[in-house]
Amino acid sequence: MNEDKCVFCRIAHKQVGASRVYEDEKVVAFLDIRPLNEGHTLVIPKAHYENIFDVPKELNAYLHGVTKQVAIAVKKAMAVDGITIIQQNGKAANQDIPHLHVHVIPRYAGQKMPSFSETSEADKEKLNQTATKIRKHF
């Protein structure tokens, strides 16, 4: 994958807009434009690594440390009952974008796990409002 063509690299380097909820020198978290539930956030390393097989161990640990903070912020901001964390590696595991990313998915008591194939693109303005809410909890 050419990093110039990788959409997550372009988001990390601010060449493409995203509804960001958290950022530091190593990672960035932003709302999924096709959310399974409102507040569905992706956490990625800024550097291009395809998946868990090629990311350095320390960076992967750091990524998951930030994922914990993101999960807490999303849970508080969206007042949800739970959070599902999904991290897919390789086509066989349904990895869609070949840049390592962790899904932080809000869940509601009694709600069936939503399907990735049934999502649709969210309204940009609504995503920005949701991101503002989540950012307050860091």
Q: Which stretch binds Zn ion (CB under 5 A): 9-17, 19-27, 71-79, 106-114?
A: 9-17
Strand partners, 43: 29, 102
The residues in 53-92 that bind Zn ion, with binding defined as CB under 5 A, are none
8 lies in the site for Zn ion, by CB under 5 A: yes
| Candidates 40, 48, 99, 101; catalytic one | 101
As a whole number of angstroms, the distance between CA 62 and CA 89 comes to 18
Rounded Cα distance between 104 and 79, Å, is 14
- Active-site residue, 101 included: yes
* Cβ 48 to Zn ion shortest distance, Å: 4
Q: Residue 134 is encoded by which pair of tokens? A: 């989540």
What does the per-residue mask of binding to Zn ion show for 97-136, with x meaning CB under 5 A? --x-------------------------------------
Q: How far is the CB of 22 from Zn ion (least distance, A)?
A: 18
DSSP-derived secondary structure for 46-104? SS---STTTS-HHHHHHHHHHHHHHHHHHHHHHT-SEEEEE---SGGGT--SSS--EEE
Give me the residues that bind Zn ion (CB under 5 A), please.
6, 8-9, 48, 99
Catalytic residue numbers read: 101
